[in-house]
Amino acid sequence: MAQRKKDEEAVSRRAVLGRAAAALAVLTTAGAAAGCKKKALMCDGPSVTDGVLTAEEVQLRKMLLYTDLAQTPDKACINCTLFVAAREADTCATCKVIHGPVHPNGTCKIFLRKPEGGAPT
């Protein structure tokens, strides 16, 4: 009788350990997948520019219809002669006209295409 109880406890412990290992594997995989997801770069909007820019600078961005995503890639800031690239990857760049952070894929009303074969800025 005592042996049977010990066997049942051993099976039960094995079952619990097996389930715990499976759950840990699922959590580890999900965590790794979530960790690989890059947060999208944001260079506009109240969460980025509030307290960073003056009201006039914010107004200028609005007047020039600055947006973080150009409708067509050929009109993206990165292709504009007024674009100043960031020193570090995955960070906002700047612009010679619009103050504040600028997204490489952004654009505005005064987009000025870089000359063909021009040096990158």
Q: Does the protein bind ligand SF4 through residue 82 (CB under 6 A)? A: yes
Q: Does the protein bind ligand SF4 through residue 83 (CB under 6 A)? A: yes
- CB distance 115 to 79 below 8 Å: no
Taking the least distance from each CB to ligand SF4, the nearer of 41 and 83 is: 83
Which one of 44, 92, 98, 101 is in contact with ligand SF4 (CB under 6 A)?
Answer: 98
Candidates 12-20, 34-42, 51-59, 106-114; binding stretch for ligand SF4 (CB under 6 A): 106-114
- CB distance 76 to 106 below 8 Å: yes
Long-range contacts made by residues 8-12, C-beta under 8 angstroms, separation at least 24?
A: none
Q: Does the protein bind ligand SF4 through residue 108 (CB under 6 A)? A: yes
CB of 76 to ligand SF4, least distance (A): 8
First to last CA, the chain: 83
Q: Does the protein bind ligand SF4 through residue 49 (CB under 6 A)? A: no
Taking the least distance from each CB to ligand SF4, the nearer of 31 and 73 is: 73
Identify the three-state secondary structure at position 24: helix
Taking the least distance from each CB to ligand SF4, the nearer of 41 and 106 is: 106
- CB distance 83 to 50 below 8 Å: no
For tokens 């005064």, the residue is 110
